[in-house]
Chains A and B, each alone.
Chain A
Amino acid sequence: MIKKYQKKSELEAAFKKSVNLRFVWEDAVAKNISKEEMNRRGIKSVYMVD
């Protein structure tokens, strides 16, 4: 169920991504990020409301 990370580098990358989600979220609510950029960063769960 919970993901298994075989390598330290994989776990480290996943942890950093999780910690840095705050900045993605702040960009999203401030509308400082385009949908294309969100897609590029692999953020699938948010879209803008006009």
Chain B
Amino acid sequence: MSTEVTKMYWRQNIWYLSVLLLIWFIVSFGFGILWADWLNQFRIGGFKLGFWFAQQGSIYCFIAIIVVYVILMNRLDQKFKAKKTMP
């Protein structure tokens, strides 16, 4: 198996991870804790925005992050398999 392909696979994976974990950090520690007071001046319906992120929104984002990662990695796995079997 070519190490070039393996390296490409791992680098791409690390790139996905970095971006998604940054989003993970921003929606929970950022919106839910650090900037919550500032966000609370905005509202969606009956929710103050900071409060919504802390008790609801961050959890929805967590699910979305995993879904996106699963989709991206399934695609990357396919690509990897195709390249590996190429002459």
**B partners with A:** no
